[in-house]
Chains A and B, each alone.
Chain A
Amino acid sequence: MLTYVIIGLVSGAIYGLAALGLVIIYKGSRIFNFAQGEFGTMAMYVMFVLVELKGVPYFAALPAGLITGIVLGLLTERFVARPLAGAQKVIGLVGTAGVALLLIGLTLVFADPKPRSVNSPLVGVGPTIAGYTISRQQIFAIVVLIAVAASSAFFFKKTFLGMAILANSQDSSAVRIVGASVNRISAITWGIAGFLGALTGVVLAPDVAFYPGYMTTVVLIPAFTAGIVGGMTSLVGAFVAGQIIGLVEAMGYYLVKQFPDALQTIPEAPAFLVFVVLVLTLLIRPKGLFGSEA
């Protein structure tokens, strides 16, 4: 049982990290960014090329992966988010989904659909807790999440730029009146989101076998669920809810293991549980645990 709790917390860290990126875009421009997962997959593939094909060490390749994410975030802002800023929010959402699909399409053109992985010096045995051995890479993921959550909370509460981003989401014409550049704020927001997406990808890359569209298929829906449960506007919420979603999913795996006969009729029970959490949250408390609005 405790084993599953640890598994849940580890995957929860990844969901939380991805959810942070979603929340920052939502705070900044009030749209759901469906391209968030693909920022991560692209960073994974850059890491794959550098580490596995060129022989660059994992930590030396990390900056390249992260820069990929930032560049993708900036490009998305310039060519999709900014032109669609005045359009219906639904159109903005379709636009980001288009970005995700374009990135998946490009990966398919340039990479084989084979599962890939990236070698990291942290992969391998780490401390054993309750019979479950955590890899050092997984500990790295959790540490990164905590560091990112803390620094972004500081960023939005205490720095001028962070507050400008929040102000922009509430009333962008007022921001323009006081003399801040709306376009620059929007670009910075997307840059940060791209960075967080890439960070999710590079941290996860050594632990999984990824393929084109991996983060969109596997991480995006739990991350959205974490964002919604956390309230979509709360960084702390995204952090906590990521852990909750990780635990819920792990509970699904536990139940399937405990009651294989009863649950065999429901294929993919863990994913199903995550959806149940999403739907119930939206129906009962759409503003989530820590949200300030619905």
Chain B
Amino acid sequence: MAQAVAAPPASRPVVTRRLTPSRIIVLGIIAGGVLVYPKLGSGVAADRFTLAVIYAIVGLSVNILMGYAGQISLGHQAFVGVGAFSAAYLTTKGGLPIVLSVPLAALIGGLIAALLGLVALRIQGLYLALITLAYGAVAERTIFGIRELTGGGGGMPALRPEFFTSDASYSYVCLAVLALLVFVDWRMLRSKFGRALLALKSNENVAASFGMNLVFYKVGAFVMAGIVAGLAGGLLAFREQHVVSADFTFTLALTFVIMTVIGGLGNRTGVILGSAFTAYLPFILNKISDWTGSSRVIVLRIAITAILLLLTLTKTPGGIGQQIHPLTEWLSGKPFPRHNKGHGRKRKVKTEAA
């Protein structure tokens, strides 16, 4: 121990960030691909893309709770559902334009999450999982079934306004929202609030003993997640153009948790990729079953997601984010890492000639 204290920590190697032409080209190809993709092919491609973007937004929301603050939500389908029904109700029954109803849906999502967060204060760890599970189930079976608010089983229409009627144009709207949220999420994590959430996750008692207001940050994490989920719900309403309560089942809540875990808890890029992959999986399986002519392929979806989840948890807890770490490091302007820390078997670092 004394030795460790005596030896000064090795100064961190200075990493020079360089935006070399090769990086610019790769970044350009990725950005260009994402921007052009909805315009290619039919509206179906754009519609799928929109769903992937909305799932990515939900993934960011789950990530705030699970990845940053270390809480768990098994009722996220209800957060998203509340956003979807609020937006649909406000536009169809209330006559509000989409630019007002979707932000209001986000606000309502935040309010409900705040209520749940206040309940969560009294409950620790795993018991919280059951409260969110119960909330999700109540919302799914009971609240979303109230005919005056949600149209009962028949659902509530949410028609897109004139300007965004085409699937391609709507997918750009969603993409813009995602880009904004990625920026907000990035800045949030670097702020005092973000660091506090991470401290909360590491050790609540230590965080409290440093004078952190646990109540504020816990409820804050729920409100942030609720706002983002409500926003995703609002966007989802106008993608489907018809919101049905049967869409928001417990399986969806599990899917939301799983895609975030597969993506890599706490890793923004990983979560976005994991969510997008989960959104695309049914479409990919559809394609495969078209080629092979076997409809059994589609049924594999749940088993595949479950296996991916279990492999992620036991083999690479960092998920996709951990897998693509060398690439993201390189793209962000740092040198390509020669070996992956804690990824699989550790290779010996070669000294000079690599």
Contact = CB atoms under 8 A, between A and B. Distances in A.
Is B truly associated with A?
A: yes
Interface of A: 31-32, 79-80, 83-84, 87-91, 93-95, 97-99, 101-102, 104-106, 108-109, 217, 221, 224, 228, 265-269, 271-272, 275, 278-279, 282-283, 286, 294
Contacts of A282: 122-123, 127, 130-131
Given A101-B258, A105-B304, 19 more contacts: A32-B126, A32-B129, A80-B314, A87-B313, A94-B261, A98-B310, A101-B254, A102-B307, A104-B302, A105-B303, A221-B137, A267-B145, A272-B142, A275-B138, A278-B134, A279-B119, A282-B123, A283-B119, A286-B122
A127 to B, nearest CB: 34
Given A84-B314, A99-B310, A268 B145 contact: yes
Contacts of B306: 98-99, 101-102, 104-105
A101 B142 CA distance: 24
Contact of A93 (B126, B142, B302): B126
Contacts, number: 127
Contacts of B313: 80, 83-84, 87, 91, 94-95, 98
Contacts of A266: 142, 146
Nearest to B125: A89
A45 to B, nearest CB: 15
Contacts of B119: 279, 283
Given A83-B314, A95-B313, A105-B302, A31 B142 contact: no
Given A98-B310, A98-B313, A283-B119, A271 B303 contact: no
B72 A109 contact: no
27 contacts: A79-B310, A80-B314, A83-B314, A84-B314, A87-B317, A88-B70, A94-B258, A94-B313, A95-B314, A97-B74, A98-B309, A101-B258, A101-B302, A102-B306, A102-B310, A105-B301, A105-B303, A217-B250, A221-B134, A265-B146, A266-B146, A267-B145, A268-B141, A268-B142, A269-B142, A282-B131, A286-B123
A92 B134 CA distance: 19
B120 to A, nearest CB: 10
Contacts of B258: 94, 97-98, 101
A271 B143 CA distance: 12
A109 B303 CA distance: 8
Contacts of B26: none
B259 to A, nearest CB: 12
A32 B129 CA distance: 9
Contact of A271 (B70, B125, B137, B299): B137
A98 B254 CA distance: 9
A91 B314 CA distance: 10
B130 A90 contact: no
Contacts of A217: 250
A282 to B, nearest CB: 6
A279 B120 CA distance: 11
Contacts of B250: 217
A228 B134 CA distance: 13
A228 B130 contact: yes
A89 B321 CA distance: 22
A272 B140 CA distance: 11
A202 to B, nearest CB: 24
Contact of A108 (B130, B137, B302): B302
Contacts of B130: 32, 224, 228, 278, 282
B271 interface: no
